[in-house]
Chain A
Amino acid sequence: SQTIHQWPATLVQPVGSPLSLECTVEGTSNPNLYWYRQAAGRGLQLLFYSVGIGQISSEVPQNLSASRPQDRQFILSSKKLLLSDSGFYLCAWSVSGPVETQYFGPGTRLLVL
């Protein structure tokens, strides 16, 4: 069966510090991968998605970047965090097929102080 992991689960970082959040998927090959941000427990904002290694599409201009160094690894990064980067970050995966369904990881809660 497929599983998706995210770490860390919780992170408190000072403004201006770098960020690296990791997401890995097990049990599937060549998944589509997604990063979302959820602010104040409501609504999902799609940040990045990837259909393959090294292929990253950005949905909104921002202080963040994403990379996909391996087939089942998706990393969200920032060189200098802003206060507005605080939120709940969710990684998701899907596999193209008859039913295109996204499955979500447990999330990382980021607090920038």
Chain B
Amino acid sequence: GEDVEQSLFLSVREGDSSVINCTYTDSSSTYLYWYKQEPGAGLQLLTYIFSNMDMKQDQRLTVLLNKKDKHLSLRIADTQTGDSAIYFCAEMGGSYIPTFGRGTSLIVHP
């Protein structure tokens, strides 16, 4: 079946850029998503990218997609303490059931 992999932890210094990586196996993926989960809260959709795009930028967020390697990344510029959260990568193919990664805990320290 489909699989989405992410590293579990990332630690960065405040003001630096964060890059969270994700790999997936489903070659029929149509949409790829990044969600943010703060402690005790639900998942908040940050951004998504169509599989026919290779980059999408939204303010401090940049999503890069390498479809050949099935690799997705989320770059957060000028990372702030408020960016500390768990970030989930997800992909959706032909069905309406997305496959989520296990999430990457981003820790921002002063």
Using CB atoms, name the residue of chain A closest to B102: A43
Q: Check A99–B43 contact: CB distance below 8 A.
A: no
Also in contact, A41 and B97, with CB within 8 A (given A90-B42, A100-B92, A103-B45): no
Also in contact, A107 and B48, with CB within 8 A (given A43-B102, A44-B88): no
Q: Check B31–A101 contact: CB distance below 8 A.
A: yes
Q: Check B42–A107 contact: CB distance below 8 A.
A: yes
Chain B residues, CB < 8 A from A44: 43, 88, 100
Question: Chain A nearest CB: distance from B53 CB in Å?
Answer: 12
Is A105 in contact with chain B by the CB < 8 A criterion?
A: yes
Also in contact, A43 and B103, with CB within 8 A (given A100-B92, A100-B96, A101-B48): yes
A71-113: CB near B (< 8 Å → 1, else 0) gives 0000000000000000000101010100111111111010000
